[in-house]
C-alpha cells in the first residue's frame, strides 16, 4: 500500500505542495474502502511469507477501528482461500483484571471478530493474560515481549488511536522507550469504553499493554482512524511535535509507518481543512463557501465585512484574482447561506421556490423520518418535525431499532411491576405477568454485568422505549398509526456489539418506503462512525433507496440528512437550516423529556456528561450563533440538514 502523501517536513520544494505532515497519511473516502486496502496489505504479506516458507508475525489491535479489516480478512479466508496457518499473532493489550471469556475481554473480541473464523492454529495467537496475579505481572510482561522476539519480531503492527493519542494502552505520559507493563487507564479512555461496559463504574481501571518500544520495533506499522472524534488527535500526531502527551506522535520516528484514515478523521489536517493554504485548489462553489466561512470565523468578522486585504493576507489571493473584488465573493457566499434558511422545511406553498431549499409543490407532502433510536427524531430534528406537522404535512416516523440496551434494569422492573399491579387492581387474572416479574427480578438480582439480558427483559426494555416514542408522537401531534416500530434485527444482540446488516433489515426499510411513498425522507447521516448504530441504520436506508430509486414515486422524493446528538454539519455543507424561536426550543425540550428512561443519567452516557436535551439545545444554539457571527439573521436556535442525492 502506497501512502498518498509521504512528505516528511514542513517546507515544499519548487513545484510541490507544501506539506505539514510528518507521517505518511492516506485518506480514503470511507472506512470500508480504507479497511479493504489494509486487509489487502495484510493478506499480501501473509501470502508472501507463505511463499518464503516463513511465519508471518502480526501485532493486532481491538476496538472499533480494525473490525472491518478483520471482517474482510475472514471473507478472504472463506472466499479466496487465504490461509492463516503461518500466522503468529500478538495482541496489544487486555484489561486487568479480566477473565478471558468475559463479554468485555479482548480475548473474546478477537475470537469473535477473527480467530474463530479462520484457520489460525490455537497455539499461534497470544493476548496478554488479564488474570495473572499482581506479584507475577512484571515477569509475565517481560516474557510476553520475549515471546515476540523469539519468533523474530513483529512483521506488521496494526494500531488504533485513542482520542487522547494512546496507542495500545500507552496513555499520554508513556515514554518512547516504555516496555510491556501494567498501566492505569486515563479517565478519558475509561469514559470512551463506558458505552460498551454499560457505565463508567464497570470499566476496569488498569490494563496490560505492549510498550511503545516494541510497537516501534515492528517492521511495518499501520494506524487506523475513523470519524470526526479522531480528527484533532490525528492532526496533532501527524503535524504536531513529537511529545509524550500524544504517544501516537512517536510514530513520526518510524521508518515504515502509514496512517490510514477516512475523510472525517482527516478533516483537521491542514491540507483538508484549509487546502488553499497548501496547494492551488479548484474554486468551485463549495470550496469558496468553505474558505470564506473559515476566513470569517478565523478573523471573527461577518462575511460582508471581509476586505481584499483579508483575502490576500490569508492565502486566498488567487480566488480574489478570479473574482476581481472581495465584495463580489462576500455577496455570493452571503446569498448562498441566506438561501439555506427556511421556516418551511416541507416547502412554502404558493411561493417562488427558486432560492428555497425545498420545493413548493406538492404543497402537502408525505414525510418519512427515520430515527435510528426511539429518540433521535425529537433530539436531532424536533423543531423541524413539529413544523412539518404544524404546516399540515403527513408525517410518519420510523423507529429503526428498539433501543432496548439503553434502558436501566430498575426501569424495566418498574414497568413490569406496574403491569402486575395494574392487572391486580383491575381484577385481570394474568399469572404470566406475575411470573415474568418474578423471573425478571431473580435475573436482575443475580445478574453479573458480563451477562446478556434474557429475551423477556430485553423485550420489556424495548417496550419502555416504544412507549416513550409514542408519547413524543402524541406530543408533536401525529397519530401513533404513523409511528412505525421496525425493530431491525441487526440490533437485537443484547450487547453493544451488533450484527452486520442483513437482507431482512434492508427489506423492512424498503417495504416501509414503498408503503408510505414519501416526498421527503429525513435520516440520520452519521457516516463517520463505522460501527455505531446510526451508521448501520443509514447503510440499510441507502441500500433500500438504491433498490427503490427507479420506482416512479421515488422520482419525486428528496432525502435530507440530519446529524445525531453529537456533532453538527460543517457550516459550508448545510443546505437547509430551520430556525427555532425560544418557545419552540422549550417545546422541543419537553418533547425530549418524554424519553424518561434516557434522562437523569443514562446507561450509555459515554464521554459527554450532558443530558440529551442539553446536547441538542447547545448544538442548535451553536448553529444559530454561527449564522449570526457570519453576519446573517440572529435566531435562538437552528436545526441543520444536508441533501443526499441518489
Ligand atoms: C485496542 C487498543 C486501543 C484502541 C484505541 C482506539 O487494542 O489498544 O489503543 O486501538 O483505543 O479504539 P477504537 O478503535 O475503538 O476507537
Q: E strands of 563-621, at which residues?
A: 576-580
Mean of the pLDDT values across residues 56-80? 96
Alpha-carbon distance of 439 to 454, in angstroms, equals 10
**Could you give the C-alpha distances from 16 to 252, 279, 281, in angstroms and in order?**
21, 8, 13
- List pLDDT tens digits, range 570-600: 999 999 999 999 999 999 999 999 999 988 7
210-244 b/e (C-beta count within 10 Å ≥ 16 → b): bbbbbbbbbebbbbbbbbbbbbebbbbbbbbeeeb
**Chain centroid to CA 380:** 15
Mean of the pLDDT values across residues 269-298? 95
Answer for the pair 385, 369: CB distance below 8 angstroms, yes or no: yes
Catalytic residues: 171
Q: What is the whole-number distance in angstroms between the Cα of residue 312 and the centre of ligand 1?
A: 42
pLDDT of residue 353: 96
Q: What is the whole-number distance in angstroms between the Cα of residue 286 and the centre of ligand 1?
A: 34
- List pLDDT tens digits, range 425-443: 999 988 888 888 888 888 8
How would you write 110-177 as a 3-class SS string?
HHHHCHHHCCCCHHHEECCCCCCCHHHHHHHHHHHHHHHHHCCCCCEEEECCCCCCCECCECCCCCCC
Counting from 1 in the atom list of ligand 1, the atom nearest the Cα of 65 is 14
Three-state DSSP at 619 gives: helix
Higher-confidence position of 105 and 6: 105
| Cell numbers describing residue 217 | 520495533
| Cell numbers describing residue 618 | 447547545
Closest CA to 46 of 107, 113, 124: 124
- List pLDDT tens digits, range 300-343: 999 999 999 999 999 999 999 998 899 999 999 999 999 999 99
| Cell numbers describing residue 327 | 465584495
pLDDT of residue 501: 86
Mean of the pLDDT values across residues 516-537? 86
Answer for the pair 25, 238: CB distance below 8 angstroms, yes or no: yes
Q: What is the whole-number distance in angstroms between the Cα of residue 523 and the centre of ligand 1?
A: 29
- The mean predicted confidence, pLDDT, of the chain is 93
Q: Whose alpha carbon is nearest atom 11 of ligand 1?
A: 162
Mutate to test the pocket of ligand 1, among 60, 63, 174 (most ligand atoms within 8 A of CB): 63
- pLDDT of residue 2 exceeding 50, the answer is no
Q: Place 533 in a pLDDT band, splitting at 50, 70 and 90.
A: confident
Q: E strands of 217-339, at which residues?
A: 221-225, 257-262
- pLDDT of residue 40 exceeding 90, the answer is yes
Counting from 1 in the atom list of ligand 1, the atom nearest the Cα of 168 is 8
Mutate to test the pocket of ligand 1, among 98, 130, 160 (most ligand atoms within 8 A of CB): 160
- List pLDDT tens digits, range 173-213: 999 999 999 999 999 999 888 878 877 888 999 999 999 99
Alpha-carbon distance of 358 to 387, in angstroms, equals 14
pLDDT of residue 3: 38
Alpha-carbon distance of 257 to 247, in angstroms, equals 14
Counting Cα atoms < 13 Å in the Cβ hemisphere of 113 gives 22
- Number of other residues whose CB lies within 10 A of the CB of residue 286: 12
- Ligand 1 binding pocket (C-beta < 6 A) is 61-65, 92-93, 160-162, 166-169
Q: Whose alpha carbon is nearest atom 2 of ligand 1?
A: 168
pLDDT of residue 447: 66
% residues pLDDT > 70 (the chain): 94
Q: Place 103 in a pLDDT band, splitting at 50, 70 and 90.
A: confident
Lowest mean pLDDT among 112-126, 287-301, 424-438, 444-458: 444-458
pLDDT of residue 7: 35
- pLDDT of residue 530 exceeding 60, the answer is no
Torsion (CA) 504, 509, 512, 514 in degrees, nearest 10? -100
Amino acid at each position: 500500500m502506497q501512502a498518498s502523501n509521504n512528505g516528511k517536513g514542513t517546507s515544499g520544494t519548487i513545484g510541490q505542495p507544501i506539506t505539514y505532515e510528518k507521517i505518511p497519511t492516506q485518506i480514503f473516502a470511507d472506512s470500508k474502502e480504507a479497511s479493504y486496502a489494509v486487509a489487502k496489505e495484510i493478506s499480501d504479506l501473509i501470502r508472501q511469507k507463505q511463499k518464503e516458507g516463513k511465519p508471518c508475525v502480526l501485532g493486532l489491535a481491538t476496538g472499533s477501528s480494525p473490525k472491518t479489516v478483520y471482517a474482510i480478512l475472514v471473507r478472504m479466508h472463506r472466499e479466496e482461500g487465504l490461509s492463516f496457518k503461518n500466522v503468529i499473532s500478538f495482541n496489544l493489550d487486555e484489561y486487568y483484571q479480566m477473565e478471558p471469556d468475559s463479554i468485555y475481554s479482548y480475548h473474546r473480541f478477537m475470537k469473535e471478530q477473527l480467530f474463530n473464523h479462520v484457520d489460525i492454529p490455537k497455539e499461534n495467537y497470544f493476548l496478554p493474560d488479564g488474570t495473572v496475579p499482581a506479584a507475577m505481572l512484571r515477569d509475565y510482561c517481560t516474557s510476553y515481549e520475549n515471546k515476540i522476539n523469539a519468533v523474530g519480531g513483529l512483521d506488521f503492527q496494526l494500531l488504533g488511536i485513542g482520542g487522547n493519542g494512546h496507542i495500545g494502552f500507552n496513555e499520554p505520559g508513556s515514554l518512547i522507550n516504555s516496555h510491556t507493563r501494567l498501566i492505569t487507564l486515563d479517565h478519558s479512555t475509561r469514559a470512551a469504553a463506558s458505552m460498551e461496559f454499560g457505565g463508567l463504574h464497570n470499566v476496569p481501571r488498569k490494563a496490560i499493554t505492549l510498550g511503545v518500544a516494541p510497537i516501534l520495533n515492528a517492521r511495518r506499522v499501520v494506524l487506523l482512524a475513523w470519524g470526526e472524534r479522531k480528527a484533532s488527535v490525528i492532526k496533532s500526531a501527524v503535524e504536531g511535535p513529537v511529545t509524550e502527551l500524544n504517544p501516537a506522535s512517536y510514530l513520526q520516528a518510524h521508518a515504515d509507518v502509514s496512517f490510514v484514515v477516512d475523510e472525517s478523521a482527516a478533516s483537521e489536517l491542514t491540507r483538508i481543512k484549509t487546502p488553499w493554504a497548501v496547494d492551488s485548489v479548484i474554486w468551485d462553489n463549495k470550496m469558496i463557501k468553505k474558505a470564506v466561512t473559515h476566513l470569517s470565523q478565523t478573523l471573527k468578522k461577518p462575511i460582508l465585512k471581509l476586505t481584499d486585504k483579508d483575502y490576500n493576507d490569508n492565502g486566498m489571493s488567487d480566488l480574489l484574482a478570479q473574482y476581481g473584488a472581495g465584495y463580489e465573493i462576500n455577496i455570493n457566499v452571503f446569498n448562498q447561506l441566506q438561501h439555506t434558511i427556511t421556516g418551511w422545511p416541507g416547502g412554502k406553498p404558493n411561493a417562488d421556490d427558486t432560492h428555497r431549499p425545498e420545493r413548493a409543490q406538492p404543497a402537502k407532502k408525505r414525510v418519512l423520518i427515520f430515527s435510528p433510536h426511539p429518540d433521535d427524531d425529537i433530539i436531532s430534528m424536533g423543531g423541524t418535525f413539529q413544523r412539518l406537522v404544524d404546516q399540515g404535512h403527513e408525517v410518519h416516523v420510523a423507529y429503526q431499532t428498539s433501543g432496548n440496551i439503553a434502558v436501566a434494569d430498575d426501569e424495566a422492573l418498574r414497568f413490569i411491576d406496574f403491569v402486575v399491579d395494574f392487572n391486580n387492581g383491575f381484577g385481570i387474572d394474568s399469572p404470566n405477568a406475575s411470573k415474568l416479574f418474578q423471573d425478571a427480578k431473580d435475573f436482575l438480582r443475580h445478574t453479573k454485568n458480563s451477562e446478556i439480558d434474557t429475551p423477556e427483559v430485553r423485550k420489556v426494555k424495548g417496550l419502555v422505549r416504544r412507549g416513550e416514542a409514542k408519547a413524543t408522537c402524541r406530543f408533536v401531534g401525529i397519530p401513533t398509526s404513523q409511528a412505525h416500530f421496525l425493530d431491525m434485527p441487526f440490533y437485537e444482540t443484547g450487547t453493544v456489539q451488533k450484527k452486520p446488516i442483513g437482507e431482512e433489515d434492508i427489506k423492512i426499510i424498503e417495504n416501509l418506503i414503498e408503503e408510505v411513498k414519501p416526498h421527503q425522507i429525513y435520516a440520520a447521516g452519521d457516516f463517520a462512525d463505522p460501527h455505531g448504530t446510526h451508521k448501520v441504520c443509514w447503510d440499510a436506508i441507502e441500500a433500500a433507496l438504491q433498490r427503490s430509486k427507479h420506482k416512479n414515486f421515488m422520482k419525486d422524493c428528496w432525502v435530507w440528512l440530519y446529524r445525531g446528538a453529537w456533532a453538527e454539519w460543517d457550516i459550508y455543507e448545510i443546505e437547509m437550516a430551520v430556525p427555532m424561536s425560544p418557545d419552540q426550543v422549550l417545546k422541543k425540550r419537553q418533547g425530549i423529556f418524554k424519553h424518561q428512561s434516557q434522562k437523569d443519567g443514562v446507561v450509555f452516557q459515554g464521554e459527554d456528561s450532558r443530558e440529551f436535551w442539553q446536547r441538542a439545545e447547545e448544538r442548535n444554539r451553536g448553529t444559530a450563533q454561527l449564522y449570526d457571527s457570519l453576519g446573517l439573521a440572529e435566531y435562538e436556535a437552528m436545526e441543520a440538514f444536508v441533501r443526499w442525492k441518489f
